[in-house]
Amino acid sequence: MAYTTQMDAAAKGILTEQMRAVAEKEGMDPDLLLARVAAGRIAVPANKNHKSLVPEGIGEGMRTKINVNLGVSKDCCNLDAELDKVKEAINLKAEAIMDLSSYGKTGEFRRRLVEMSTASIGTVPVYDAVGFYDKDLADITADEFIRVFEQHAKDGVDFMTVHAGINRNTAATFARSGRKLNIVSRGGSLLYAWMQLKGEENPFYERFDELLDICAEYDVTLSLGDACRPGCIADSTDASQIHELITLGELTKRAWARHVQVMIEGPGHMRLNEIAANVQLEKRLCHGAPFYVLGPLVTDIAPGYDHITSAIGGAVAGAAGADFLCYVTPAEHLRLPTYDDMREGIFAAKIAAHAADLAKGTDDGKWDDAMADARRALDWEKMFELAIDPEKARRYRKESFPEDSSTCTMCGKMCSVRNMNSVMDGKDVNII
């Protein structure tokens, strides 16, 4: 039986090669996976032209996945340096990589990325349009925006962020809102400016059916972008954000009617106590579609440490039901991330995702139990093997070696684990 997309196959009861791989990886019953993909509650991004892909599932009952943002800009346009980051991101088991390139040979970079990456690839076509056509924003036509989207699909991109929810109605709500930080989404700001300059409707909203035709042809997952995501705590959960979210829920139903998979992108900055409610809002207004969050960043005061503010919010969001975390690096708000910034961001996001999985039960805790056993045995080599970042753990240990090799330099012979082991084994405790 023929099928067009993963969602179409699931609706027809066909377990594709990609779905079978996801079911095995997640330990999920294939029939349950089929039902959730067919209902739109799980997405399996898998462009037909991405031949090197090792597929992942994103959504209900799945482990929380992470995405790594990479790509060149006008100020930093070293393709080889970005590809080195890609290799390391894949080595560190990031499930997805988003190419946010906005300058230069974007097509060359994107095609090399798709060819080499086992991780899912995402892009934001509107970023590419200015460089692709070498035109000012006001000179780009609606047709040209659609053609860039189609080119990315042909190149093998698995999911594309499209800011289709910032239509003229949403824009009018924003204009009345008196926001402190206006629109911080790069794609959202470009489309808002384009609409203002041209006096026309957002082409990604007005011609949404054309996007669905392209998605169905190549099996591209739509990541419906949050153009009105809050860029500071003061703007969180406001009328602009919620108006757009309602629109994204309407677009989700239209996409599913064509068997096109959908993810919903979520808020950037918000207070800790608002995060769970925002996850519930998305799941309700967007009919259970997988939720993809940037952070959320829980405070605005930490430039240089925003991988931490993001990980705090990401853990809370994931525990509340968010499915996909976009990493944030220490360079957020400051510069294009370096190789080391990227590593820090990945580990912060992976820790947040794992913490969320423990909370919602998609992780059985065996990894943590194994680390507890290794710590009780003071088996340092085993602790390093189990560490999320073995390299850093080994380096810290090597830089400060204790008098008693079974302990660390924090406690030495006063180590509680060492001394409790002795007491429980009926031995003397020798501290001096």
pLDDT at 431: 83
According to the annotation, is 292 in a ligand binding site?
A: yes
According to the model, what pLDDT value does residue 101 have? Answer: 86
333 is in an annotated binding site: yes
Distance between CA 65 and CA 60 in Å, rounded? 12
> Is 69 within any annotated ligand binding site?
yes
Q: Where are the domains of the chain?
A: 44-360, 366-424
CATH superfamily, with its number, for domain 44-360:
Radical SAM ThiC family, central domain (3.20.20.540)
Residue 187 among known ligand-binding residues: yes
Task: Indicate the helix (H) or strand (E) that contains 202.
Answer: none
What Cα–Cα distance (Å) separates residue 9 from each residue in 4, 20, 36, 159, 218? Answer: 7, 12, 12, 18, 14
Letter for the amino acid at 341? D
Q: What is the pLDDT of residue 362?
A: 97
Check whether 278 is labelled as a binding-site residue.
no
Residues of the chain with pLDDT under 50: none
Q: pLDDT tens-digit profile of 341-351?
A: 999 999 999 99
Given a contact cutoff of 8 angstroms between Cβ atoms, the answer to whether 313 and 298 are in contact is: yes
Q: What is the largest CA-CA distance in the chain?
A: 83
Q: State CA 339 to chain mean position distance.
A: 18
Q: Say if residue 265 carries a ligand binding annotation.
A: yes
Please indicate if the annotation marks 228 as binding a ligand: yes
**Residue 155 is assigned to a ligand binding site:** no
Please give the mean pLDDT across all residues of the chain.
Answer: 95
Supply the pLDDT for residue 93.
96
Tell me: is residue 229 an annotated ligand-binding position: yes
Q: Can you tell me the distance from the alpha carbon of 429 to that of 272, in angstroms, rounded to the nearest whole number? A: 45
Q: 304-356: per-residue pLDDT in tens? A: 999 999 999 999 999 999 999 999 999 999 999 999 999 999 999 999 999 99
Q: If residue 43 lies in a helix (H) or strand (E), which one and from where to where?
A: strand 42-43
Reported as a single tens digit per residue, the pLDDT across 101-152 is: 877 778 888 999 999 999 999 999 998 888 788 889 999 999 999 999 999 9
186 belongs to an annotated ligand binding site: yes
